[in-house]
Amino acid sequence: MKIAFVASDTEKSRQSLQELVKIYGQHTPADAEVIVALGGDGFMLHTLHRFMNSGKPVFGMRRGTVGFLMNDYQTHDLPKRISAATATVLHPLKMRAETTAGRVHEALAINEVSLLRQTRQSARIGITVNGQPKIDELVCDGVLLSTAAGSTAYNLSAHGPVLPIGSDVLALTPISPFRPRRWRGAILPANAQVRFEVHDHEKRPVSATADNFEVRHVKAVDVSEDKNSRMTLLFDPHHNLEDRIINEQFVF
């Protein structure tokens, strides 16, 4: 099996990279059948963005402190593990953000697109779904739209729902909402078109982030699932991503 190993910039990951290359050899990503990523979830997101639409599946092994998207680290029988792995296909969110200066920025998010206030003053954000206004003005620290794969990340910290892979839905979750006080978010179909409009944006500036790509001083953000882009993650059958997401709902 032709494997391309990539590793995060930590001593633990670099040592693992040397160990695995010595055993299995090293191929370029272009020539490889599979990419093996060594690190944590942050590095896995970086790897998925890097090799999106390459057709190369990614098998991660945990070498960081967090590894929700990673398999356990083992050096033996790696080709056999990869061959027996369960494949999970993910589609990212596409963010189109317009700034107060009139510039437009586009980016893809595997986990979530989030809007956050930039100053001490609360943000005031209007929310439209499929062209229909749903919330005239959400007074909050921010709001995010999360994929199922990202629902256990920032979304869960903001008290959003955990979404099983394959549910074909997105989580729309407010961050520290003040008004409407009782609104705790919504679950939307994956094909929903969501628009956020920032009110009073000169006085109450807001930034928009698609995973690690940030745009500051936005006045409107459109988000939808990008079915034209896809990534394939590989997981050990006994510990696949769907099982992890289900199990996360029973952690107290």
- Which amino acids are annotated catalytic? 41
Residue pair 27/3 in contact (Cβ under 8 Å)? The answer is: yes
C-alpha 29/C-alpha 47 separation (Å) is: 11
Tokens 């928009």 appear where?
208
- SS3 of 198-221: the string is ECCCCCCCEEEEECCEEECCEEEE
Query: Which helix or strand (DSSP H or E) is residue 91 part of?
Result: none
**Cα dihedral 112, 115, 120, 122 sign:** negative
C-alpha 151/C-alpha 234 separation (Å) is: 19
Amino acid (1-letter code) at residue 42:
G
Query: Which helix or strand (DSSP H or E) is residue 27 part of?
Result: none
C-alpha 140/C-alpha 102 separation (Å) is: 24
DSSP single-letter state for residue 239: G
DSSP single-letter state for residue 53: T
Joined tokens for residue 175 = 């961050």
Task: Sort 58 into a burial class: Cβ within 10 Å, 0-12 / 13-18 / 19+.
Answer: buried
CA-to-CA separations, 57 to 4, 62, 152, 154, 222, in angstroms, rounded: 11, 17, 22, 25, 29
